[in-house]
């Protein structure tokens, strides 16, 4: 079913200031954000007890942020580099901190270990998008 999103995006490619390679990076980033939202939603729900309160809050917030980032990339008319850069920066920053926090609980919770991995992948995908966008932005 993921392929349907991919197909829909390809139809919009010709209108976008992106080349094939960058569209693939964006598709990867969409999937990484989606996986991160899902893992964080499960992980937030699984974390119990006082010692996990911060991790739980971070995962719940990360799920919201990853979903927001995913939806932004899916909108064909949102061709506003500065807004996208601001969101990618926030998503990457939070994903790295969330991965770090989840890793503290990875020994006790397999959910937390896998969630940390999903956050790391999300942070990396955002970083790649930012690198690609930097190449597209006019130098001043």
| CA 134 to chain CA mean position, Å | 18
Asked whether position 35 contacts its own copies by CB under 8 A, the answer is yes
Place of tokens 């927001």: 68
d(CA 26, CA 95) in angstroms, rounded, equals: 17
Asked whether position 24 contacts its own copies by CB under 8 A, the answer is no
Asked whether position 13 contacts its own copies by CB under 8 A, the answer is no
Q: Which long-range contacts (CB under 8 A, 24 or more apart) does 14-17 make?
A: 15/76, 16/76, 16/79, 17/79, 17/136
Q: Which two tokens stand for residue 58?
A: 């971070």
How many residues bind to its own copies according to rule CB under 8 A?
66
Q: Select from 16-24, 40-48, 127-135 the region that touches its own copies (CB under 8 A).
A: 40-48
What burial class does residue 70 get, using C-beta atoms within 10 Å of its C-beta: 0-12 exposed, 13-18 middle, 19+ buried?
buried
Asked whether position 138 contacts its own copies by CB under 8 A, the answer is no
- The footprint of its own copies (CB under 8 A) covers 1-2, 4-5, 7-9, 11-12, 30-32, 34-35, 37-39, 41-46, 48-50, 53-54, 56-58, 60-61, 63-65, 67-68, 70-72, 74-80, 82-83, 86-87, 89-90, 93-94, 97-98, 101, 110-111, 114-115, 117-118, 121
């Amino acid at each position: 079913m993921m392929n349907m999103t991919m197909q829909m995006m390809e139809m919009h490619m010709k209108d976008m200031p992106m080349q094939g390679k960058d569209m693939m990076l964006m598709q990867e980033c969409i999937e990484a954000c989606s996986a991160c939202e899902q893992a964080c939603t499960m992980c937030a729900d699984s974390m119990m007890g006082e010692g996990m309160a911060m991790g739980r809050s971070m995962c719940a917030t990360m799920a919201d942020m990853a979903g927001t980032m995913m939806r932004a990339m899916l909108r064909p008319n949102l061709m506003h580099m500065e807004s996208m850069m601001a969101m990618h920066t926030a998503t990457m920053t939070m994903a790295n901190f969330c991965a770090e926090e989840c890793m503290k609980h990875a020994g006790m919770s397999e959910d937390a270990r896998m969630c940390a991995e999903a956050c790391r992948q999300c942070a990396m995908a955002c970083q790649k998008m930012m690198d690609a966008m930097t190449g597209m932005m006019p130098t001043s």
